[in-house]
Structure 1
Amino acid sequence: MADFMFLIVQCIYPLIDMRPTMSYVVMELDGILEKERSMSTIVSEITVILGSQLFKATT
């Protein structure tokens, strides 16, 4: 989320010449999206692993 907020701040910078190009913005957004997807996958895998332990019978 911090990366996204930083990109927004860059895009609204008062000096137009200091703002990023659209190609840079697209590249950054792609990177942020990929990072979020990988984190989501990791969290899902951990949830499945932890959840599966909850349903094991103890004898």
Structure 2
Amino acid sequence: MSLVLLVGIWAGLLIRRGSLRLGGALVSALFGFLLASSKMAPGVQDILDHLAREITEIDL
């Protein structure tokens, strides 16, 4: 399951619960798009890839 889908579901649940208003969600999405096109994007992607690998290695 992709991280984008998980974050989208999480944001949807927060909006539905009233913890995150639509305006805040739109600003967060815009920030994400701007961050993805910045010079910081490869570093952020490396961190997220590392976290994903660590999470998948957890034995429950």
The TM-score range, normalised by the shorter chain, is 0.3 to 0.5
Relative to the length of structure 2, the TM-score reads 0.42
Report which structure shows greater RCO (CA 8 Å, sep ≥6): 1
Larger radius of gyration: 1
